[in-house]
Amino acid sequence: MSNDDNTASVTWAKGMDAKAFLTALAAQADRDRPLAFVGRRPVLDLAKHCIGNIPVSGPANRARALRNPPGQTLLIQGPPGAGKSALLYEIEAWTNSQPDSVSTQVDRDLLARRESLLSLISAELRDAPEEAPGDSVSKAQGGNAGFALLKGRWSRTSTKSEPVPTSVAALERRHGKALHQRRLILLIDEIQDVSPEGARTLNMLHTQTTLPVMAVCAGTGDSQGALGQPGGVSRWGANAVVNLAGLAPSEALQCARQTLHKVVGTPTTPRIQGHHAIETWAEQLAEASRGWPQHLHNYLASLWKALSAQEQPDLSRAPLEETLAQGDVARRSYYDQRMERFLGYEGVVAAVHQGLATAHGGILPKGEVINIIGEFKQRLPEHTQTAFDRRFEDVIDFAEALLKSGMVANAPNGGGWASPIPSLTDYVLDQGSAGLEP
Ligand SMILES: Nc1ncnc2c1ncn2[C@@H]1O[C@H](COP(=O)(O)OP(=O)(O)OP(=O)(O)O)[C@@H](O)[C@H]1O
Ligand SMILES: [Mg+2]
C-alpha cells in the first residue's frame, strides 16, 4: 500500500504556479489523504489478513465458511489526529487495487438505515456496469433512496419493481451466486458516535457468514464501548481492535522527508528550490512533532505557508524559527481543544496525567484512573463538586470523556490507559499544576 501523486488530495497540475500549489498545500484539510503515508505496517498487514480472508465464490465455500467463519471486523481506535482516517485511505487504496475486491467509505449514519445499506451492498457486490459520471459522490455518502442513481442495472430496474431487501437472507434469495463475484469492504469512520441501531446493523453484518462483506471501522478510544462489547460474536478475533499510537521517531522523520521530496525541487516543481536543505528541515519538523501525525501535518502546513509567502520559494531560505513557532501555536491549539471539555477541572486532568507519568510503563488500569478522579474530586471545593455533577454523570463519565477527547488513550497493547503524547502530559501538568497542591 503506498500513496502516489495520483491519489494525494492536493496534486501539482501542469503549468500550476508554485505559490498557488504551496497555498493549496497550506490550506489542505488535515482530513485529506497525506502526500506521503508512512509506517503502520502491522496494522495494514492485520487489515489485509482480516479482510482478505473472505471467500468470494460464496455458496461453494459455504460449508467451510460456517465451520471457520472467515474474516474479521476490524476496529481502529485512537485519539484525534492519531492517523485513523489516513489508515482507512490506505486500506481503501489497497482493497481497490485487488482484482476481486472493492471498498467503499460508508457514512456511519447509513448503518442505522439497514435497508439502504443492504441496497448498497447489493449494488456493490453484483457485477455492476461502469459507473456513470458523478456517481462516486453518492457512493461515498450512501444517500437514502439514492441507489437508483448509484450503479447501473440493478438499481435502476429494482427500484421500479422489486422491494428493497430487508435481510441478508432476502438479498441472497434474490441474487444468489451473483453476490459472490467479489468481496466488499465497508470503511466506516468516526464510528464512536454510531447509534444503537447502527451498532446492531454492524453486529448483523459482522456475525453473518454468507456475504463476502467485511467492515473496517475507525473511531476515538471509546468506540469499542459504543459498538457494544464484542464478546460472543464470532468474528471479533483476538486482534480485531487496534489502538493507534503516534509514529516512531524514525517514521516521523521518514514522513517529513518524503513529503518534502514530493514538494521541493522535483522535476515538476523546479520553481520550489532548496532541495539540499530537505534533510535539515525534515529532522527539525519531525522532532518538533514528537511523532504525532496531526502535529507533523501542522508543522508542514506552516512551512508551506512560509514558502508561499516568499518571492521565490526556496526551502534553504525559509524561516526555521518562525515556522516552528507557528507549528507550536497549532500544537497548543490542538491541546486547548482537547482540554475544552474539562475547563474548571484542569487539576483533575493533571492528577490523572501525574498518575500515568509515574505508573509502571506509563499505563494505568481504567479502574485506577477512575479512583484518581474520584479522590481528587473529593478534595475540590463543594461548589466545584456540584458543578462537576451537573456537567458529568459520574466519575466514570468523566473518565470516558477523557478517552473520547484524546486526553488519554488506550495503551497500544491494551490493558489500560496511557498518555497519548508526552508533550500533552507536559501541557496538562502545566495547566493543572496550580490545582494539584491544595
Ligand atoms: N501514517 C501516516 N503517514 C503520513 N501522514 C499521516 C499518517 N497518519 C496520519 N497522517 C496525517 O496526520 C493528520 C492526522 O491524521 P488523521 O486525520 O488520519 O487522524 P484521525 O485519527 O483520523 O483524527 P480525527 O479523530 O480527528 O478524525 C492528517 O493530516 C494525516 O494525513
Ligand atoms: Mg479522522
Whether residue 105 contacts residue 92, with contact meaning beta carbons closer than 8 Å, is answered with yes
CA of 83 to the centre of ligand 2 (A): 7
What's the CATH number where 205 sits? 3.40.50
Q: Is 246 in the pocket of ligand 1 (CB under 6 A)?
A: no
Q: Is residue 11 part of a domain?
A: no
Look at residue 9 in the predicted model and tell me its pLDDT.
64
Q: Is 34 in the pocket of ligand 1 (CB under 6 A)?
A: yes
- Regarding whether 425 and 285 lie in a shared domain, the answer is no
Nearest ligand atom owner, CA of 82: 1
Q: Is 84 in the pocket of ligand 1 (CB under 6 A)?
A: yes
Q: Is residue 393 part of a domain?
A: yes
Look at residue 201 in the predicted model and tell me its pLDDT.
86
Q: Is 409 in the pocket of ligand 1 (CB under 6 A)?
A: no
Look at ligand 1, atom 4, and give the residue with the nearest C-alpha: 37
Query: How far is it, in rounded angstroms, from Cα 260 to Cα 255?
Result: 8
Q: CA 298 from chain center: how many Å? A: 17
Torsion sign (Cα): 45, 51, 55, 57: negative
- Regarding whether 278 and 159 lie in a shared domain, the answer is no
Look at residue 157 in the predicted model and tell me its pLDDT.
35
Nearest ligand atom owner, CA of 223: 1
Look at residue 101 in the predicted model and tell me its pLDDT.
86
CA of 9 to the centre of ligand 2 (A): 15
Q: Is 88 in the pocket of ligand 1 (CB under 6 A)?
A: no
- Regarding whether 239 and 118 lie in a shared domain, the answer is yes
- Regarding whether 189 and 108 lie in a shared domain, the answer is yes
- Regarding whether 326 and 260 lie in a shared domain, the answer is yes
CA of 85 to the centre of ligand 2 (A): 4
CA of 260 to the centre of ligand 1 (A): 17
Q: Is residue 74 part of a domain?
A: yes
Q: Is residue 35 part of a domain?
A: no
- What is the block-wise mean pLDDT of the chain (438 residues), using blocks of 10 residues? 50 75 83 90 88 63 55 88 95 89 88 86 67 37 34 35 72 76 88 88 79 89 78 51 94 97 79 90 97 96 94 93 96 94 92 95 95 93 91 95 96 90 93 64
Indicate the number of domains in the chain.
3
Look at residue 152 in the predicted model and tell me its pLDDT.
31
Q: In terms of residues, how long is the chain? A: 438
Q: Is residue 10 part of a domain?
A: no
- Regarding whether 288 and 144 lie in a shared domain, the answer is no
Final residue of a structural domain among 243, 259, 292: 243
| Top mutation candidate among 3, 4, 31 for ligand 1, by most atoms within 8 Å of CB | 31
- Regarding whether 61 and 193 lie in a shared domain, the answer is yes
Atom of ligand 1 at shortest range from CA of 247: 1
Whether residue 270 contacts residue 315, with contact meaning beta carbons closer than 8 Å, is answered with no
- Regarding whether 205 and 73 lie in a shared domain, the answer is yes
- Regarding whether 137 and 178 lie in a shared domain, the answer is yes
- Regarding whether 140 and 55 lie in a shared domain, the answer is yes
Q: Is residue 27 part of a domain?
A: no
Look at residue 4 in the predicted model and tell me its pLDDT.
45
CA of 42 to the centre of ligand 2 (A): 19
| Residue that has been written with the C-alpha cell 475486491 in this structure | 101
Whether residue 34 contacts residue 86, with contact meaning beta carbons closer than 8 Å, is answered with yes
Final residue of a structural domain among 284, 311, 339: 339
Q: Which long-range contacts (CB under 8 A, 24 or more apart) does 15-18 make?
A: 18/269, 18/271, 18/272, 18/313
Q: Is 293 in the pocket of ligand 1 (CB under 6 A)?
A: yes
Q: Is residue 349 part of a domain?
A: yes
| Top mutation candidate among 4, 85, 247 for ligand 1, by most atoms within 8 Å of CB | 85
The widest CA-to-CA distance across the chain, in whole angstroms, is 73
Final residue of a structural domain among 339, 354, 380: 339
Output the pTM of the full model: 0.86
- Regarding whether 430 and 376 lie in a shared domain, the answer is yes
- Regarding whether 169 and 132 lie in a shared domain, the answer is yes
Q: Which domain does 103 fall in, by range?
A: 41-243
